[in-house]
Amino acid sequence: MHLVWVNDNAAPVGGCEAYIRDTALGLRSRGVSSTLLYQVSGAMEARWMRHFDGAFPMVDIHRQIKELAPDLVYIHRLEGVREAQLFSELTCPAVRFFHDHKLFCLREHKYTAIRNQTCKRTIGWRCYPCLGFINRSDRWPGIRWQRIGSLRAEQRANMQFDAFITSSEYMAGHLAAHGFDRNRIHVIPLYVMPPQETENVARDPKLLFFAGQMVRGKGVDILLKALAQTRDEIRLILAGRGRLEDEFKQLCGELKLDHRVTFMGRLDPDQMTEYYQKAACVIFPSRAPETFGLIGPEAMRYGAPIIASDVGGVREWLEDGVTGVAVPPNDVQALTETITRMIDDPGRASALGEAGRKRCLECFMPDRHLDSLLALFQSLTEGRTT
């Protein structure tokens, strides 16, 4: 089988690109060849593009697809109505994986701009009072306007694809609520790589760990406020970068947490593994409804106890009281109390971590995802000619 992957960027920009790279490599081991098409204006990195059998900028989509003659086109981040229309007109099947809320929220983040409350609604007139139509821009005057009509037009163009993939039932329901054909929506959970063989690391009974972007949607401010209400001996490691990092550092100062919080920036995979093994608990305090929340299974594979906001697709890997503990988003007091109980009961924390580890190894390994993906692709390509 020959796949053409479509993505705005041809560089390791984020989790979407990590998925594309890892899955292309996994499929290669099963005899699938992969070609990447990317936007001329997107990010590019030659080293990253070497993971594919070929990589080309999108300049004439119909002609390029005709010459490449793929069995199927696998679309990821793709901005623009015209581009979606062109791919929907192909004779070979076109499948889109929805990694985020970009087509389902004027501000892309799916929490309100004013009160920072988690949003579960479909797009509509209520989006305007939220002020989500006002977005940042790198161009003068520093803002851009997003209209509901434009977003709906892009949704309609994407509805023409042969199939849609989401990583959670939550996101599948959100697509269906926006008018996508539920019969063409396929839920294939994301995966993590098998745990590395490492020496046993003793957990620090007073150490919390967070990994993610330093942005409001990840709930870092809620975590810091909760930490300030716990005992002084409890410490926190924050891993990640983002535009609000300086603001969160200032908040640490205001809450007198400077001696308890360490901002580590981006960590390499070995460092992440170390903290997943070392932390008494991994905190996932998002207020944005995560389409899946891959950090959870990444930590679970090392037996890390998890506390996570009950948002989006989180419940599809976190069973409250069994593989971790779920708390309401934006609830400082609930998070404070849950952290304290977890720290004070290491036996229960260890049991949650072990149950999470087993669930991760059973449900979120690469082969399971690749099997489901190939089964879908084969069902779409049987009997079709390009």
∠ Cα 200 238 296 (to 5°): 60
Residue 386 has pLDDT above 50, yes or no: no
3-state DSSP call for residue 368?
helix
pLDDT for 127 equals 82
Question: Cα dihedral angle (135, 136, 141, 146), rounded to 10 degrees?
Answer: -20
pLDDT for 114 equals 82
Residue pLDDT, tens place only, 234-280? 999 999 999 999 999 999 999 999 999 999 999 999 999 999 999 99
Contacts of 252 (CB under 8 A, 6+ apart): 224, 258, 261
d(CA 242, CA 55): 29
Residue pLDDT, tens place only, 312-352? 999 999 999 999 999 999 999 999 999 999 999 999 999 99
Proportion of the chain above pLDDT 90, given as a percent: 86
Amino acid found at 217: G
Proportion of the chain above pLDDT 70, given as a percent: 95
Q: Minimal CA–CA distance to 307: which of 322, 321, 326, 293?
A: 326
pLDDT for 113 equals 83
Residue pLDDT, tens place only, 76-98? 999 999 999 999 999 999 999 99
Confidence band, pLDDT 50/70/90 cuts, at residue 128: confident
Average pLDDT, the chain: 94
What backbone torsions phi and psi does residue 11 show, to the nearest 5 degrees? -160, 160
Q: Minimal CA–CA distance to 36: which of 15, 11, 66, 1?
A: 11
Residue 161 has pLDDT above 50, yes or no: yes
Which residue intervals of 89-211 are DSSP H helices?
148-158, 169-177
The DSSP result for 25-55, as a single string, is HHHHTTT-EEEEEE-TTS-B-HHHHTTSSEE
Choose from 66-75, 105-114, 136-145 the range with maximum mean pLDDT: 66-75
d(CA 320, CA 152): 36
Confidence band, pLDDT 50/70/90 cuts, at residue 126: confident
346-363 and 332-344 helices cross at what angle (nearest 10)?
A: 100
pLDDT for 211 equals 97
Q: Is the pTM of this model over 0.85?
A: yes
Residue pLDDT, tens place only, 193-240? 999 877 778 999 999 999 999 999 999 999 999 999 999 999 999 999
Amino acid found at 273: T
141 prior amide bond cis, ω within 30: yes
pLDDT for 383 equals 66
pLDDT for 20 equals 97
The answer to whether 175 and 98 are in contact (CB under 8 A) is: yes
Confidence band, pLDDT 50/70/90 cuts, at residue 134: low
Q: Which domains are seen in the chain, by residue range?
A: 2-191+366-381 (3.40.50.2000), 204-363 (3.40.50.2000)
| Stretch (H or E) spanning 276 | helix 269-278
Q: Which of 113-122, 156-165, 248-257 has the lowest mean pLDDT?
A: 113-122
pLDDT for 329 equals 97
State the pairing for strand pair 134-136/94-97. unpaired
The token pair that represents 360 in the structure block: 């991760």
Q: Minimal CA–CA distance to 7: which of 117, 112, 83, 90?
A: 83
Residue for token pair 């086109």: 73
